Structure formats: structure tokens, C-alpha cells
Amino acid sequence: MLTNIIQKIKASNWITIFFMAAFHVGAILALFFFSWQGIALGAVLWWLTGGVGIGMGYHRLLTHRSYKTPKWLEYLLTIFATMALEGGPIFWVATHRLHHRLSDKPGDPHSPRDGAWWSHMGWILSGTAMHQSTSSLAAQVPDLANDKFHVWISKWHWVPLTVSGLLILAIFGWPVTLWAVFFRVTLNLHCTWLVNSAAHMFGSQRFDTGDDSRNSFWVALLSWGEGWHNNHHAHAQSARHGLRWWQIDINWYCIKTLQMLGLAWDIKLPRFDDARVPEFGRPVPVAVTAESPIR
């Protein structure tokens, strides 16, 4: 018993625990310092960091290479993502690629089969994922490891959030900072973690992917479209996750907007005969660069 407790203490990520606790306390304090200005700024930053940064940047662009953008835009999306307090691109992308290789199997960093709390937040606080060296992570993401900017920002990922937080504090004061930084970051963290936890436990499975991934309407709303998780696991490289017209996918709409502006190309989408794939069936996992008709 004592040995197990000692092992858990050693495995705990104390720096991460400290900052997670601090941001959660700040989020609670925000409720006692109401600010419309803080809520408005926080909402914009929630979209820029959680939707544009994490969803469009870290996930669909860097992890799955679902589309291409100019390098300056790729780097800008990466900077937005670092402001979500979810680590640098090398850590995030390596962890997520491992999740796809071992989804809901031994070795998956955050499977609900190891416990709902574990998949939501426990894996960050006491798992081994945060103890991996940069070199071991880089071996899993050679495309990022060979990019000097991504290597640099992975080391200094805390700088954009710190600088932006200090600027907000200096310009607007504490009430706005509590909402636009602490509450916004905490809310977005849980919305991202819901994709790892709730979207592997609750919802429907259109495709037989061999794992527990689910399509969850409410998780999709909270994560800018990332909650259509079964669709995503069936067609991991697709830039579009909401495959039905009614499956709201804000990140996909933003990618389409970039395409219309000439800032996104080589957009990958799934190709399958919709008549052959009922609400629950095995997909034909073929990704193509030309856009495919999807109803």
C-alpha cells in the first residue's frame, strides 16, 4: 500500500498540478468579479486558442496534416494553440498520434478504459506522458522535430500565454484577466479533455472503428467540432469531422474560409459510398486531396 502511494507521488507532475490548480482557482475567482468586457474578450480568445489554435492548428493541421497552409499561418496557429496551456506542439502532436495508434488499447495515453477521471485529467496530473523527454517525443514527430520553429516554440510554449496574460492585466486589470485568461483557459482545457473522455464514452458510433470513439453533439459544440470523434477516428486525416449537414463543425467552416481566401489547400476529405455505410458500419478509409461529396 505504502509502495503504491510512493510510486503515485513520484509519478505526479507537480509543476503541472500547481498550474492546473492555480488556473482553476482563478476561474472560480472570476465568478466573484463579473466583467462583460472580460467575458467578451475571453470568448474571442477561447475561439482563437481552442478552435483555431488547438482544433485547426495542433489537431487537424500538425497532427493529421489534413490540409496545408503557408508556413507563417501554420506558425501563427501554433502560437494561438500554446495560449491554451496544453503544452508545445511536439508534446501535443506526439501524444495525439500515439492515441490514434493505440486507441483504447494498452498504451493509449488517455483511454476511458483506464478510468473516466484518468482519460479526462488524471493522465496529465499523474501519468507518464508528461515525463517523456523531448528527444523521445521528437522521434514520434520527425516532421516537427526538423522544423526549427516548432522545436523552439515547444521549449518556450509558456511564453505567448504569459506575455498575453500580462498585457491583458496591464491594460484591463484583474477582473478582465480572471475571465479572459484564467476562466477561458480552464474552460477550454475541460472542453478539450471531454474529447478524450466523454467522446469515448457517450454518443453514437456511425463507423465500426474498433475503439470506443463516439459522435457527441454537445462535445462538438464545446470543442468547435472536435466532438464528432467517431467520424474522425474512421477518417483520421479528414479535415472535416462533421460528415452530415447537421453535424456542426466550426473548425471545418473556418478551414473552408481559409481555402476561399487562398490560405488553405490540399484539403483531405473521406471518400466512401454513403449508400453502403449506414449509421453503424465499417468505413472505407480512403483520404483524397480533392473534395468528395459528403451528405
The answer to whether residue 295 is domain-embedded is no
pTM score: 0.89
pLDDT tens digits along 250-264: 999 999 999 999 999
Give the total number of structural domains in the chain.
Answer: 1
What local confidence, expressed as pLDDT, does residue 129 receive? 60
Cβ–Cβ < 8 Å for 180, 21: no
CA 173/CA 152 separation, integer angstroms: 31
Per-residue confidence of the chain (295 residues) as pLDDT tens digits? Answer: 434 433 444 446 888 999 999 999 999 999 999 999 999 999 999 999 999 999 999 999 999 999 999 999 999 999 999 999 999 999 999 999 999 999 999 999 999 999 999 999 999 998 666 555 566 777 789 999 999 999 999 999 999 999 999 999 999 999 999 999 999 999 999 999 999 999 999 999 999 999 999 999 999 999 999 999 999 999 999 999 999 999 999 999 999 999 999 999 999 998 764 534 444 444 444 444 444 433 3
The answer to whether residue 6 is domain-embedded is no
The answer to whether residue 29 is domain-embedded is yes
Residue with cell 459544440: 221
Nearest-10 crossing angle of helices 148-155, 71-82: 10
CA distances from 5 to 121, 189, 272 (A): 19, 27, 50
The answer to whether residue 71 is domain-embedded is yes
Give which of 106, 95, 100 is closest to 140, Cα–Cα: 95
CA distances from 182 to 18, 46, 73 (A): 14, 11, 26
What local confidence, expressed as pLDDT, does residue 134 receive? 60
The answer to whether residue 7 is domain-embedded is no
What local confidence, expressed as pLDDT, does residue 33 receive? 96
Here the cell at position 222 is 464545446
CA 35/CA 33 separation, integer angstroms: 6
Domain with 185 in it: 14-274+281-288
The answer to whether residue 235 is domain-embedded is yes
Cβ–Cβ < 8 Å for 132, 107: no
The answer to whether residue 9 is domain-embedded is no
Residue with cell 506522458: 129
What local confidence, expressed as pLDDT, does residue 133 receive? 56
pLDDT tens digits along 5-27: 334 444 468 889 999 999 999 99
Q: What is the DSSP letter of 192?
A: H
The answer to whether residue 159 is domain-embedded is yes
What local confidence, expressed as pLDDT, does residue 193 receive? 98
Q: Which residues contact 234 (CB under 8 A, 6 or more apart)?
A: 206, 207, 209, 270, 283, 285
